[in-house]
Chains A and B, each alone.
Chain A
Amino acid sequence: GQQLNQSPQSMFIQEGEDVSMNCTSSSIFNTWLWYKQDPGEGPVLLIALYKAGELTSNGRLTAQFGITRKDSFLNISASIPSDVGIYFCAGNDYNTGKLIFGQGTTLQVKP
């Protein structure tokens, strides 16, 4: 079945630093989504990407849909303490209609 490899698994950074995380897939996706989850809460949609090569920003967040349609990355610039949480990538295959989630990247920010 389809699998997503998300890396890194965890990151511990200093406030103000930039962060980069990525996801790769064994197969092609039609859509890439990035979510953030705070402890005990539901995932919150950050960015949705629909087109290969697409680069989309949401405030300090920037995400790209890889040209091969098998990968995506998320960058966070000038990190702040409230960026702490788990970031999930998710890919959607229109053939199955299922959203496949990566295992998550846990981000910790030191003030």
Chain B
Amino acid sequence: DSGVTQTPKHLITATGQRVTLRCSPRSGDLSVYWYQQSLDQGLQFLIQYYNGEERAKGNILERFSAQQFPDLHSELNLSSLELGDSALYFCASSVGVAGDEQYFGPGTRLTVT
């Protein structure tokens, strides 16, 4: 158990809908990272927050957004969903801002039908 929690574990929704994925980092970690992993694909970095502020952006679509709250939990919002958005979404956390030693949550499997 990494100490990072993610909810929900599974999510099935229809195209055009909007969903919110939630992540709680390990106790003491200030950075939260979001990754997308499609079938047979590696881990694609989406976005990082550090202590409530956006720190780094990867290949995140404009339809996706995230935020980190004062209690350090984070939410990833996915809107106008398309079939191609079906994937595993992982949250990771680390102590500092530099991205080292990221600890991953169990993931949310999103299926868009």
What is A's interface to B at a CB cutoff of 8 Å? 31, 33, 35, 40-45, 48, 50, 88, 92, 94, 96-104
- The CA of A98 and the CA of B100, in the complex, are separated in Å by 9
B contact residues, range:
20 to 34
* CB contact between A42 and one of B42, B99, B104 (< 8 Å): that residue: B104
Q: CB-CB < 8 A to B100: which residues of A?
A: 31, 33, 48, 50, 92
B103 within 8 A of A: yes
Identity of the chain B residue whose Cβ is nearest the Cβ of A99 in the assembled complex:
B99
Q: Are A97 and B56 in contact (CB under 8 A)?
A: yes
Q: Inside 8 A of B107's CB, which chain A residues have their CB?
A: 40-42
| Top 8 A-B residue pairs of the complex, sorted by shortest distance between their CB atoms | A42-B104, A101-B43, A97-B99, A103-B42, A43-B104, A99-B99, A92-B99, A42-B106
Q: Could you list 26 examples of A-B contacts with CB < 8 Å?
A: A31-B100, A33-B102, A35-B104, A40-B107, A41-B107, A42-B4, A42-B90, A43-B90, A44-B104, A45-B104, A48-B101, A88-B42, A92-B98, A92-B99, A92-B100, A97-B48, A97-B56, A97-B97, A97-B99, A98-B45, A98-B48, A99-B33, A99-B45, A99-B99, A99-B102, A101-B45
- Asked whether A98 and B90 contact (CB < 8 A) given A31-B100, A45-B101, A103-B42, the answer is no
- Beta-carbon contacts under 8 Å, B79-113 to A: 88, 90, 92, 97-107, 109
Q: Is the CB of B43 within 8 A of A88?
A: yes
CA of A99 to CA of B102, assembled, Å: 9
* Cβ–Cβ contact B58 & A98, under 8 A: yes
| B26, chain A: closest CB distance, angstroms | 12
- Using CB atoms and an 8 Å cutoff, list the residues of chain B in contact with chain A: 2, 4, 33, 42-43, 45, 48, 55-56, 58, 88, 90, 92, 97-107, 109
Shortest Cβ distance from residue A20 to the other chain B in the assembled complex, whole angstroms: 20
Q: Inside 8 A of A101's CB, which chain B residues have their CB? A: 42-43, 45
A103 to B38, CA, bound (A): 12
The distance in angstroms between the C-alpha atoms of A33 and B33, with both chains bound, is 16
Q: Report the separation of the CA atoms of residues A88 and B37 in the bound assembly, to the nearest whole angstrom.
A: 13
